[in-house]
Amino acid sequence: MTEEFAGQFGPASEAIKQYVDILASRGGEWGLLGPREGDRLWDRHILNSVALSPLVPEGATVVDVGSGAGLPGIALALYRPDLRVTLLESLLRRTEFLELAVAELGLAERVEVARGRAEEHRVRYQVVTARAVAPLERLVGWCTPLLSPGGVLVALKGASASAELAAAAGSLRRDRLTGVVRELPVPGTPDVTWAVEIRRQGDSQPVS
């Protein structure tokens, strides 16, 4: 399956295989991935991450909040060579892992690693992504200040997307934000996953 999965990445198919090797080896050694994740890297992590690609406008600036070992940020950057991506991560050890991976994958020209907490970061982006970082309501508080006008927060939530959106409804209304659940095909698999898109009210059109 590896070749078939990697083929989803077109010209970056060798680079994504290299990234999977980095995750399986150094990611495990540095304690960034659980011992059982090795077999599930492609479908559960890599392809699930790039499922959000249709929600990211062409040429957008993206910040991946709580990037961890680079998901979805590094996978998305390899899948979408048109994007400039910042990997924002609060833990030093993880930013060290990310810096090594970015250099080894030859991504340094358009992928930057930033150490810090989302709620203290002061740069704005057209797209904020987040996967497995915090419940939606908390994520919205941290991440919507990072959005440039017309920007979108894309929270990959899987099966909990609708329930998290419902739980956050009050604070979204209060902060004049709108939220929509998007069902997304997982490339190269028969699966789907779900993300929540959050925008400021009145910002119906994404900026590309």
Ligand X SMILES: C[S@@+](CC[C@H](N)C(=O)[O-])C[C@H]1O[C@@H](n2cnc3c(N)ncnc32)[C@H](O)[C@@H]1O
Q: Which residues are at the interface with ligand X (CB under 6 A)?
A: 65-69, 71, 88-91, 94, 117-119, 131-133, 142
**Distance (Å, rounded) from C-alpha 136 to C-alpha 140?**
6
What is the closest distance, in whole angstroms, from the C-beta atom of residue 120 to ligand X in the complex?
8
Between residues 37 and 104, which has the closer beta carbon with respect to ligand X? Answer: 37
What is the closest distance, in whole angstroms, from the C-beta atom of residue 206 to ligand X in the complex?
22
Q: What are phi and psi of 168, to 5 degrees?
A: -95, 0
Between residues 60 and 71, which has the closer beta carbon with respect to ligand X? Answer: 71
Q: What are phi and psi of 202, to 5 degrees?
A: 95, -15
What is the closest distance, in whole angstroms, from the C-beta atom of residue 202 to ligand X in the complex?
27
Pairing of strands 84-89, 111-115: parallel
What is the closest distance, in whole angstroms, from the C-beta atom of residue 205 to ligand X in the complex?
27
Between residues 27 and 179, which has the closer beta carbon with respect to ligand X? Answer: 27
What is the closest distance, in whole angstroms, from the C-beta atom of residue 153 to ligand X in the complex?
14
DSSP structure class, residue 154: E
Please name the residues in contact with 56: beta carbons below 8 A apart, sequence gap of 6 or more: 62, 76, 80, 83, 127, 129, 154
| CA–centroid distance for 179 within its chain | 17
SS3 165: helix
Between residues 138 and 200, which has the closer beta carbon with respect to ligand X? Answer: 138
Measured over the CA atoms of residue 129, residue 131, residue 134 and residue 136, the dihedral's sign is positive
Q: What are phi and psi of 56, to 5 degrees?
A: -110, 115
Between residues 40 and 173, which has the closer beta carbon with respect to ligand X? Answer: 40
Between residues 89 and 197, which has the closer beta carbon with respect to ligand X? Answer: 89
**Distance (Å, rounded) from C-alpha 67 to C-alpha 55?**
18
What is the closest distance, in whole angstroms, from the C-beta atom of residue 44 to ligand X in the complex?
10
